[in-house]
Structure 1
Amino acid sequence: MTLETERIAVVTGAGRGIGAAIARRLVRDGATVVVADIDLPEAEAVAAELGGRNVAVGVDITDTAALARLAAEVEQRFGRCDVLVNNAAILDATPLDALDMDRFRKVQSVNLDGALGVTLALLPLIRRSAAGRILNIASILGVRGARDSVPYAAAKGGIVNLTRALACDLGSDGITVNALAPGFIDTRMALLPDGSGHEHETDWFNDIYIKYGRIPLRRPGSPEDVADAASFFCSTDSRYVTGQVLLVDGGISATF
């Protein structure tokens, strides 16, 4: 699924993992990408790899002034934004008995408030597009429950309904708003807290999810699996699809 030439895309959290994979895929599809990340050196490395007019911007999506600067830079360089991918997020697996409200609010401020903040900052530029696309990256934990996931699941559940509400508000502008909900994906977020490896390398993961088929495709996903799905929602081919949430999870949600 391709974008027309010179579509301008902003991808947050694009310095690594899913965000970087989406940036790479959109460039393959013909877009020019603003690689936005709180870690500027990582964003610069991705932008350098992509070459061309692709550019890195350091931004803290919880900082309103930083978002205004991001919007100003996109406007100055490109004059509009055709595609916004709200991917930036932090992981949290705090057990309920150890959770406090400060931690809960921190996760919401990045994972939910940040996505809305970026959207509001760039919306005037998206409205200049002939076919604006907003894609939010949610999570399977936004539609399913799990232990030790209250802050993260609450934020990602918010992303799911933020997507639907924005689709209703922006449909009259011709802007589509959709979401992807990844399952187990092989990224830095999947590292075990003790640094011993990735969760999908553990015996319990292989027993439950692979051997006994809790993931029907019997493997964890890759960032590229998510990026390939993102390509459709960011393209003009998705012109009559809005307010939708697609689980990119290898089928795990079918086994609940």
Structure 2
Amino acid sequence: MTPEERDHHRKGPITLRGAQLPDRTTDQRLLEEDGETDWVHADPWRVLRIQSEFIEGFGALAELGPAISIFGSARLGADSAHYESAVEIARGVVEMGYAVITGGGPGIMEAGNRGAQEAGGVSVGLGIELPHEQGLNKHVDLGVDFRYFFVRKTMFVKYSSGFVVMPGGFGTFDELFEALCLMQTHKIDLFPVVLVGRDYWQGLLDWLRTTVVEGGMVKPLDIDLMRVVDTPQEALEMLRKYARKAPVS
């Protein structure tokens, strides 16, 4: 049967008719020496890339054990008090028996990895492909780079026994509210979300407790999913009380 005589074409589980009929089979396109390369950007191929990222992430982190994720601004340097606090918190987290996970970049992320590394713990960085490539900081011992934010966020949630959230911008807010939404909707078990820096976070908490709660958008108990502290010692105490316990070495 010639292509002109066909009324349909089966492409795996997909059936094509009319104007959707292809002029070549999938194998023909695959084996063409100088065929078009647009297919590497098509959605079916993108799904395989997404799948491979999940597999790589799960494979790299499956035996990590209990870990605490530390989030915060990439724009805060080593001269920032928040940077020093993140280093101290990471050291304490390792002493408690946890690994430390960050986004792997500069600023607060670097501070978290540095503290973990200096304390002799496991320092994990989950990087992300950005237009202005930053790369993983030098204090990351186990690093995984991702193309897709949603895959990366899955890894943070799946392998964390608690979140420590330092001052940060949209990326930090994204991770914070992702965790809160998943806990609020019972998609994941409760774990501690510790906000460090009352001066930075209090305005947000006040707005949530008034405008948002009083407007009926969330319940007062939803706000209690977050704990706000000022010092590294207070942050570590919250983790001791509420995080899933690390095994005794």
TM-score (ref. length: structure 1): 0.35
Larger Rg: 2
Higher relative contact order (CA 8 A, sep 6+): 1
